[in-house]
């Protein structure tokens, strides 16, 4: 395997931030139990002290008789001035925000510009418990045919990464299509409060499938989403399906069930938003990006670039936005956002 791939400074910062958040959540969880125990101990000791003190006072005859005239009603007193007790804090607005942007914004691939500056608005700062989603736009401009193990310790090897397929009508390369969809998906997820990491944001990279998966593992992703498009020998093949890892002892047996659950949630949203042919789900054992993963992972195949009609659709900004919306709805449902 060798050493982990180098990270650019921005990705390093995001990974460190995610790890800090997770450590803080653990500390808060452990600290919460400790504080609870201390509070109970203090209450117990206080109760014993009061009880013993009262018994002693009664026995010694030191408690003066209760005089109602000495009490003051803070809510009605005219001599003490207005009450100094604070009103209860205002109740937070619990109205749920939409999970994703409205249908009119599905074509947007970046946050909406602010009215005053005209510059893209920054995504909201994720909460400490925000779900972490890693998006992998499949392939890259140039493939790398060097071989890497298909799984940990495996003698079977595959090319590190291929350049993908291409639209037979539009000529659009797969790596360009899936990156455009991934950027739209990132914007929708960030608007919903998720923490999002991308394995790449440009075509000019050389990142193997193992290295991409290592990023998701390092981030302890709640879901790792690998976006691809299909190609087939027949131009009539069309539709969308979602791949997930089959259970393999020692490799994917711990992530197969949640991955399948994610696929089952995401696929209907894709079909509902795109109207594409429903090709269902596929469990796979031969995908490096599955076999090296320690986190739940899915691979949506968002359409056939070898089908002329589907290729033309996939080249439009509006249809890409519908794919991103379908993915976002399913992902947010899976992570409980």
Q: Domain holding 296: CATH number? A: 3.40.630.40
Q: Is the pLDDT of residue 131 over 90?
A: yes
Would you state the pLDDT for residue 178? 98
Mean of all residue pLDDT scores within the chain: 79
Question: Over the stretch 185-241, which tens digit does the pLDDT of each residue have?
Answer: 999 999 999 999 999 999 999 999 999 999 999 999 999 999 999 999 999 999 999
Q: Is the pLDDT of residue 284 over 90?
A: yes
Q: Is the pLDDT of residue 82 over 50?
A: no
Q: Is the pLDDT of residue 272 over 50?
A: yes
Share of the chain above pLDDT 70, in %: 64
Share of the chain above pLDDT 90, in %: 61
Contact 320, 181 (CB under 8 A): yes
**Is residue 176 domain-shared with residue 295, that is, in the same domain?**
yes
Task: Using the 3D structure, point to which of 37, 60, 83 is the last residue of a domain.
Answer: 60
Domain that holds residue 49: 25-60
Q: Is the pLDDT of residue 29 over 70?
A: no
Give the mean pLDDT of 84-98.
39
Q: Is the pLDDT of residue 38 over 70?
A: no
**Is residue 32 domain-shared with residue 138, that is, in the same domain?**
no
**Is residue 175 domain-shared with residue 316, that is, in the same domain?**
yes
Would you state the pLDDT for residue 107? 35
**Is residue 182 domain-shared with residue 291, that is, in the same domain?**
yes
Give how many domains the chain has, as a whole number.
2
**Is residue 154 domain-shared with residue 46, that is, in the same domain?**
no
**Is residue 56 domain-shared with residue 132, that is, in the same domain?**
no
Would you state the pLDDT for residue 97? 40
**Is residue 295 domain-shared with residue 206, that is, in the same domain?**
yes
Q: Which range in 24-33, 100-109, 151-160 is most confidently predicted, on average pLDDT?
A: 151-160
Task: Using the 3D structure, point to which of 60, 87, 108 is the last residue of a domain.
Answer: 60
Q: Is the pLDDT of residue 35 over 60?
A: no
Q: Is the pLDDT of residue 155 over 60?
A: yes
Question: Over the stretch 113-127, which tens digit does the pLDDT of each residue have?
Answer: 333 334 445 677 888
Give the mean pLDDT of 259-268.
98
Task: Using the 3D structure, point to which of 34, 60, 86 is the last residue of a domain.
Answer: 60
Q: Is the pLDDT of residue 255 over 70?
A: yes
Would you say residue 112 lies in a domain? Answer: no
SS3 assignment for the chain: CCCCCCCCHHHHHHHHHHHHHHHHHHHHHHHHHHHHHHHHHHHHHHHHHHHHHHHHHHHHCCCCCCCHHHCCCCCCCCCCCCCCCCCCCCCCCCCCCCCCCCHHHCCCCCCCECCCCCCECCCCCCCCCCCEEEEEECCCCCCEEEEEECCCCCCCEEEEECCCCECCCCCCEHHHHHHHHHHHHHHHHHHCCCEEEECCCCCCCCCCHHHHHHHHHHCCCCEEEEEEEECCCCCCCCCEEEEEECCCCCCCCCCHHHHHHHHHHHHHHHHHHHCCCEEEEEEECCCHHHHCCCCCEEEEEEEECCCHHHHHHHCCHHHHHHHHHHHHHHHHHHCCC
**Is residue 173 domain-shared with residue 31, that is, in the same domain?**
no
């Amino acid at each position: 395997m060798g050493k982990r791939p180098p990270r650019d400074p921005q990705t390093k910062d995001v990974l460190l931030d995610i790890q800090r958040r997770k450590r803080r959540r653990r500390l808060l969880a452990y600290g919460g139990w400790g504080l609870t125990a201390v509070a109970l101990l203090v209450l117990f000791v206080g109760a014993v002290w009061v009880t013993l003190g009262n018994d002693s006072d009664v026995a010694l005859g030191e408690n003066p008789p209760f005089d109602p005239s000495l009490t003051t009603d803070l809510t009605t007193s005219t001599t003490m001035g207005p009450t100094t007790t604070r009103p209860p804090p205002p109740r937070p607005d619990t109205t749920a925000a939409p999970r994703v942007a409205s249908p009119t914004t599905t074509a947007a691939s970046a946050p909406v510009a602010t009215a005053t500056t005209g510059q893209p608005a920054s995504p909201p700062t994720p909460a400490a418990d925000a779900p972490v989603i890693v998006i992998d736009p499949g392939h890259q401009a140039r493939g790398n045919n060097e071989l890497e193990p298909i799984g940990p310790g495996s003698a079977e090897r595959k090319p590190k990464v291929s350049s993908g397929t291409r639209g037979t009508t539009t000529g659009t390369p797969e790596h360009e299509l899936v990156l455009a969809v991934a950027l739209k998906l990132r914007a929708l997820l960030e608007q919903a409060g998720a923490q999002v990491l991308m394995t790449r944001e440009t075509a000019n990279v050389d990142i193997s499938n193992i290295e991409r998966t290592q990023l998701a593992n390092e981030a302890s992703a709640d879901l790792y989403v690998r976006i691809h498009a299909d190609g087939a020998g027949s131009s009539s093949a069309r539709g969308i399906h979602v791949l997930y890892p089959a259970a393999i002892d020692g490799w994917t047996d711990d992530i197969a069930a949640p991955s399948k659950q994610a696929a089952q949630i995401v696929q209907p949203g894709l079909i509902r938003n795109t109207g594409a042919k429903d090709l269902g789900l596929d469990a796979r054992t031969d995908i490096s990006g599955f076999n090296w993963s320690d986190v739940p992972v899915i691979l949506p195949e968002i359409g056939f670039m070898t089908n002329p009609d589907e290729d033309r659709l996939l080249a439009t900004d509006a249809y890409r936005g519908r794919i991103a919306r379908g993915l976002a709805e399913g992902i947010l449902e899976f992570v409980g956002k």
